[in-house]
Amino acid sequence: MPEMNEYEYLDSAPEYAQDTASMINWSANCEWHNSPYALYLDLIGESETRFGENLTTSVPSLGYIELDKLAKALTEYANRPNDIRDWLAGLEEIANAEMYS
């Protein structure tokens, strides 16, 4: 089976992570440190665990679409935190493989 890239991984997200994948895709249009995804990782405690620090130094100004996507992703996390963490770990693994290949 061929390996997936980040976009294929996001596009094939399981049902329980669809809103999280949508928020991550949308965040690609933002500066990294002001993205809904960076704030999301801070809020769920993953940025400190994975990167050793918070990714945002202040709460970014988010529009209504970004807030909606962030809220839906946080709801998915609240419903299935371990599954979302595992799914995000898969995304990070793919991103790191692409970065170092």
What are the sequence ranges of the domains in the chain?
6-99
Return d(Cα 5, Cα 70) in angstroms, integer. Answer: 23
| pLDDT greater than 70 at residue 101 | no
pLDDT tens-place string over residues 38-86: 889 999 988 887 777 777 777 778 889 999 999 999 999 999 999 999 9
| pLDDT greater than 50 at residue 1 | no
Structure tokens at 96: 């790191």
Question: Quick check: 39 and 59 in contact, CB under 8 A?
Answer: yes
